[in-house]
Amino acid sequence: MEKDNIAVGLDIGTTKIVAMIGKKNEYGKLEILGIGKSKSLGVARGVVNNITQTIQSIQQAIIEAENNSGYKIKDVVVGIAGQHIRSIQHTDYISRSNPEEVIGENDIQLLIDQVNKLAMLPGEEIIHVLPQEFKIDGQSEIKEPIGMYGGRLESSFHVVVGQASSIRNVGRCIQSSGIELSGLTLEPLASADAVLSQEEKEAGVALIDIGGGTTDLAIFKDGIIRHTAVIPFGGNVITDDIKEGCSIIEKQAELLKIKFGSAWPGENKDNEIVSIPGLRGREPKEISLKNLSKIIHARVVEIVEQVFAEIKAYGHEDPRKKLIAGIVLTGGGAQLKHIKQLVEYITGMDTRIGYPNEHLAGNSGEEISSPLFATAVGLVMNSIQNSSQSAVRMELVNEQTKVVYKNAPTPQVQRYEVEENYVEKEEIIEQPRETVAKAAKTESTETKIRRSFFDRYVDKIKEFLDNAE
């Protein structure tokens, strides 16, 4: 799998679990090789509440993806979401001992480690630390501090916090399914990578991912993530309302919502009626489409108003923080008829539906480019990015190792041979770090930090699971 640079994303949602296998083609576009879907039975509002059922659902999706693609899945990048996720803003600084030296990655890492020591509520852990903008000796609005001089390095951070037990439960499900956990990504960030353009992120945009159990929000401005939130309502709540309001079973309510549902009640005439088969010989039930739309409308308005309250809490009404690109809707809930018009009406912001087709190869099926698979596509993109960066690091280390041994002096005496080898080993460890630092200058500080932090966090989860056994 590594040889072909093939990557796998696993989206563990409330209504469905999706395993997606993909690779980059020669044009840099994402080619989907296989996809597996299964009904999510052990997840509620983005949180695992039944380990056994979740493992079975994951295995089912993995097997289907393997059969479709012909590849064996060894490791996956998993999306983290759920109602336990919250975010806070925090500012911190370090005083550098030698201002005459340029600021390096070690200084930024020191600052991040300091933020990671923040006291959280019991059971909570920091899962994501994203720098916003840096300040060096009072000079603000610095996006890339590496290579600059300064004594005081300060930054504002977007800190994402979650329940440690929920994340470990996801790790346990992955491990018990017989695959390795290679990375974690916050689901709103994965969806953003799949459907947002860099221009939108620069101008200011709010991504609303309406899933089955939760609605995820990610706000970008000046190319930097500014705010994230998870609202514990999604498409399933709308289905429940239809089920209760029309006195029908859940399966029928879901079909009604998909085929005839609308978020705008004015579109349906009073005489438009759909007939639902009765249960076990009972009479068919007739349902007015106008009433159906009223039920859907009431719940969608509640979800959108909660999301809009989060957008206002970020400061959208401040002219400097205005989201010029408006709102992008994605996720399964974005397929609801007239939802775009309703969101525009409530928020007064330009709105479009986000499809993950910008990064997909031209031969991708219509189903894959649906908003339903935005998160899965983003996770595959993230997995490819991680694996290519790992490959570069390995290549650099191997290349540097050859050079060091090639130039190593031939030892004359046995006593010196041990010492010489010891020195050379130290050089092998140290030198590639500098080479990697030079090669990685094109990456943004945020990307590097996001990757290095999640690498360490995945290692922490693996260590926890190994000890638990």
What sign has the CA pseudo-torsion 60, 65, 67, 73? negative
Which pairing describes strands 327-330 and 205-210: parallel, antiparallel, or unpaired? parallel
Position 409 scores a pLDDT of: 41
CA dihedral in degrees (130, 135, 137, 138; nearest 10)? -140
CA distance 159 to 446: 13
Position 154 scores a pLDDT of: 95
Closest CA relative to residue 43, chosen from 81, 87, 8:
81
Strands (E), 188-289: 205-210, 215-221, 224-231, 273-276, 285-288
Contact 32, 376 (CB under 8 A): no
**Domain 198-354: CATH class, spelled out:** alpha beta
| Amino acid at site 155 | S
Provide the pLDDT confidence category of residue 198 given band limits of 50, 70 and 90: very high
Residue length of the chain:
469
- Helical H runs in 277-409? 289-314, 339-347, 374-406
- Between 141 and 408, where is the model more confident? 141
Position 199 scores a pLDDT of: 95
- Helical H runs in 78-228? 105-116, 164-176, 187-195, 198-203
CA distance 73 to 52: 20
CA distance 131 to 153: 12
Would you say residue 92 has pLDDT above 50?
Answer: yes
| Amino acid at site 245 | G
In the chain, the largest separation of any two C-alpha atoms, in whole Å, equals 100
| Whole-structure pTM value | 0.80
pLDDT in tens, 356-414: 988 888 777 777 889 999 999 999 998 888 766 554 444 444 444 443 333 434 333 33
Position 451 scores a pLDDT of: 58
Which pairing describes strands 180-186 and 75-80: parallel, antiparallel, or unpaired? parallel
CA dihedral in degrees (216, 320, 313, 193; nearest 10)? 10
CA distance 198 to 423: 46
Element (H, E) at 326: none
Position 386 scores a pLDDT of: 72
CA distance 103 to 236: 49
Position 455 scores a pLDDT of: 64
- First vs last Cα of the chain: how many Å apart? 28
Which pairing describes strands 75-80 and 6-12: parallel, antiparallel, or unpaired? parallel
Q: What is the DSSP letter of 337?
A: B
Contact 152, 93 (CB under 8 A): yes
Give the mean model confidence (pLDDT) for residues 248-275: 88
Provide the pLDDT confidence category of residue 432 given band limits of 50, 70 and 90: very low
Provide the pLDDT confidence category of residue 143 given band limits of 50, 70 and 90: confident
Closest CA relative to residue 458, chosen from 57, 20, 77, 50:
77
Q: Is 70 left (phi over 0), alpha (psi -120 to 50) or beta?
A: left
DSSP three-state, residue 180: strand
Residue ranges of the domains in the chain? 86-161, 198-354, 384-446
- Between 374 and 446, where is the model more confident? 374
pLDDT in tens, 208-251: 999 999 999 999 999 988 999 999 899 999 999 999 998 899 99
Contact 346, 355 (CB under 8 A): no
Position 305 scores a pLDDT of: 96
Contact 330, 208 (CB under 8 A): yes
Please check whether the two domains, 86-161 and 198-354, share a CATH topology: no
Closest CA relative to residue 189, chosen from 313, 8, 7, 11:
11
Position 4 scores a pLDDT of: 58
Going by CATH, does the domain composed of 86-161 fall within 1.10.150.130? Answer: no
CA distance 238 to 295: 8
The Cβ of residue 212 has, within 10 Å, a number of other Cβ atoms equal to 23
Contact 167, 175 (CB under 8 A): no
Would you say residue 333 has pLDDT above 60?
Answer: yes
Position 383 scores a pLDDT of: 87
| DSSP class per residue in 23-90 | EE-TTSPEEEEEEEEEE--SEETTEE--HHHHHHHHHHHHHHHHHHH-----EEEEEE-STT-EEEEE
Q: How open is the CA angle 357-186-135, to the nearest 5 degrees? A: 105
Residue 100: Cβ-neighbour burial (10 angstroms; 0-12, 13-18, 19+):
exposed
Position 434 scores a pLDDT of: 45
